[in-house]
Amino acid sequence: MPRTPATKYHQLRDFLRGRIVSGEYEVGTTIPAERDLQATFGVSRSTVRHALRDLTDLGLVRATVGVGTVVIRSRPAVQQSSLRGFTEDLAVRGTPTTAHVVSAVISPPPPHVRDRLELPATEAVLHLVRLRSVAGTPLALMHNFVPASIGIGVDEDFTRPLYELLERDHERFITYGRDSITARAAREDEAQHLDVSPGTPVLNLKRIAYVEHDRPIEYVEAAVRGDLYEYNVTLLRGKERR
Amino acid sequence: MPRTPATKYHQLRDFLRGRIVSGEYEVGTTIPAERDLQATFGVSRSTVRHALRDLTDLGLVRATVGVGTVVIRSRPAVQQSSLRGFTEDLAVRGTPTTAHVVSAVISPPPPHVRDRLELPATEAVLHLVRLRSVAGTPLALMHNFVPASIGIGVDEDFTRPLYELLERDHERFITYGRDSITARAAREDEAQHLDVSPGTPVLNLKRIAYVEHDRPIEYVEAAVRGDLYEYNVTLLRGKERR
DNA sequence: AAGTGGTCTAGACCACAGA
DNA sequence: CTGTGGTCTAGACCACTTT
């Protein structure tokens, strides 16, 4: 027994949801009109609309003026991709990789990095350059930038997943990240590290990762061999706001 | 002037949102009580609550019984990226594009397409080839494959967003999609359409879009000029979802 | 006790879609 | 035209938090 007694709109919502997931209200069909539900259940239209709003938020129905409320899904949504570090991502997909630390220095950031990390002019960053390989074949050359102020040094074990390092040893919990991906030709130095000829197409991945309060904590720029890596993401089609 | 006049709750919501983002209502403080807003703006309490609901959905405020409605952040909460068609995506970002239909035929699908669309051997697909340009410059050459069984023909207006076509005219509501992105060299025919030399790096975007019951409804394969387009996605880290 | 958001009612008019 | 969801009003009682 729920400690909070079910309200009318909860009861109505759960009733309708049951009909939808059981298939009694089939996908593509309309459920009874709001005024019909109002009469059937002896509640006000506001209460009906409150219940329907919840179903809409759950992505089960879609209301259209002049048409009705249509069932668009009968079961819970597929899970959306979540932010993963490169190492984590490849590990999840069963591809063991090795990391070679090319360099790790504390230095003033380049302007575009300082900009993306929203840093004051005086603050230094840890600039980490790593080459990631799979089965001995170079896969990606990555530049990671992390504000020095979080207390990270150059002596950490950077062959471990960086996010694990940030979360376990420095208690910085990443909440979200923005990835930007383009295709471009490999530059001279990248080509050398990646063991390809200059001009070979590479995936250019840029990421800003954020901790709580929307503060940037990491900026990554990576050149990934296009012939060896595929960036995968699952996206839901949501309701548009505004 | 907006073609749809702003409703009262839109006006109130936008007013309050302005106060919040400008800092006049500071984070951690309460905004005026619902009955005060009701009196101040001369609207009903339902209208006030409708406006506040939107602000809650945006993650700007949190209502607590007995306390009030507290400002919890001054910037809109981060939203996960949602699946958008190419046209929709560019439109949202303010880049008007034009589409040129290279070809539109109903034909038996290539094996890898039939595989990805999980089609029986006998079923044909609509194979759509379009060149998308921005300001006269070719941007992407796209191949779209849609099962013929949904009743889509070759005479539709394919310059419109394809998802709009599917959703409005064919009542197929896309629920999610999987994108796979790599970098590769432009092939001869692509180079010609995209007005670049063969071998130029392009973003290779593959997508399977699904409707209810995890049924594939569309397979896309696109070659996008890496120098003109950036694939952007915002991902949350960790679990928790509703 | 006073004030808050949460729920709920019983109406009303509107714009839009479809027959 | 009818029926639909979208908006809006002017009340009401409740459970909860704070004073």
Q: How far apart are CA A151 and CA A143, in angstroms?
A: 19
Residue B7 approaches strand D within 7 Å at CB:
yes
Give the whole-angstrom CA distance, residue B143 versus residue B221: 5
State the DSSP code for B4.
S
- CB atoms A79 and B241 under 8 Å: yes
Query: What does the pLDDT read at residue A107?
Result: 92
| Least confident stretch, A75-79, A188-192, B85-89, B236-240 | B236-240
> With b meaning 16 or more CB within 10 Å and e meaning fewer, what string describes B167-202?
beeeebbbbbbbbebbbbbbeeebbebbebeebbbb
Task: Tell whether the model's pLDDT for residue A240 goes beyond 60.
Answer: no
Q: Which of residues 30-59 of B touch strand D (CB under 7 A)?
A: 42-47, 50
Q: Decide if B163 contacts B89 (C-beta within 8 A).
A: no
| Predicted local distance difference test score (pLDDT) of residue B189 | 93
Within 8 A of B226 by CB-CB distance, chain A residues are 182-184, 201, 204
Q: Which positions of chain C lie under 7 Å from any protein Cβ?
A: 2-12, 15-18
CA of A43 to C1' of C8 (A): 8
* Range of weakest confidence among A155-164, A191-200, B112-121: A155-164
What pLDDT, on the 0 to 100 scale, is given for residue B235? Answer: 83
- Spacing of C-alpha A181 from chain mean position: 14
pLDDT digits (tens, 9 = 90+) for B46-76: 999 999 999 998 888 888 899 999 888 787 6
- Look at residue A171 in the predicted model and tell me its pLDDT: 67
B95 with B60: CB under 8 angstroms?
no
Rounded mean pLDDT of A216-227?
92
What percentage of chain A reaches a pLDDT higher than 90?
49
Q: Rounded distance, CA B159 to CA B99, Å?
A: 5
On the question of pLDDT at A153 being above 70, the answer is yes
Q: How far is the CA of A69 from the C1' of C19 (A)?
A: 19
Nearest-CA distance A238 → chain B (Å): 6
Q: 3-state SS of chain A? A: CCCCCCCHHHHHHHHHHHHHHCCCCCCCCECCCHHHHHHHHCCCHHHHHHHHHHHHHCCCEEEECCCEEEECCCCCCCCCCCCCCHHHHHHHCCCCCEEEEEEEEEECCCHHHHHHCCCCCCCCEEEEEEEEEECCEEEEEEEEEEEHHHCCCCCCCCCCCHHHHHHHHCCCCCCEEEEEEEEEECCHHHHHHHCCCCCCEEEEEEEEEEEHHHEEEEEEEEEEECCCCCEEEEEECCCCCC
Q: Among A70-74, A82-86, A195-199, A233-237, which range has the highest average pLDDT? A: A195-199
For chain A, the average pLDDT equals 85
| Chain B residue numbers touching A181 (CB-CB < 8 A) | 181, 203, 230-233
Asked whether residue A4 carries a pLDDT value surpassing 90, the answer given is no
Is residue B181 within a helix (H) or strand (E), and if so which, with residue range? strand B176-185
Nearest to B176 among A82, A214, A234 (CB): A234
Report the pLDDT value the prediction gives residue B80, as an integer from 0 to 100.
Answer: 65
Weakest mean pLDDT among A51-65, A155-169, B174-188: A155-169
Write down the pLDDT at residue A2.
41
B99: pLDDT strictly greater than 80: yes
Q: What is the pTM of this model?
A: 0.72
CB atoms under 10 Å from CB of A13, counted, come to 22
pLDDT tens profile A119-144: 888 889 999 999 988 888 899 999 99
Q: Cα(B225)–Cα(B201) distance, rounded to whole angstroms?
A: 7
B67 touches strand C (CB under 7 A): yes
- Per residue in A62-108, pLDDT (tens digit) is 898 999 999 988 776 565 666 777 766 766 566 778 889 999 999 99
pLDDT of amino acid B1: 43
By C-alpha distance, which of B45, B46, B49, B67 is closest to B57?
B49
C-alpha distances (whole Å) from B21 to each of A21, A67, A186, B60, B130 are: 40, 37, 42, 9, 42
pLDDT, greater one: B149 or B162: B149
**pLDDT-above-90 percentage for chain B:** 45
Distance from CA of A106 to the nearest CA of B (A): 27
Percent of chain A with pLDDT over 70: 88
Whether the per-residue pLDDT at B239 is higher than 60: the answer is: no
pLDDT of residue B202: 95
pLDDT of residue B194: 95
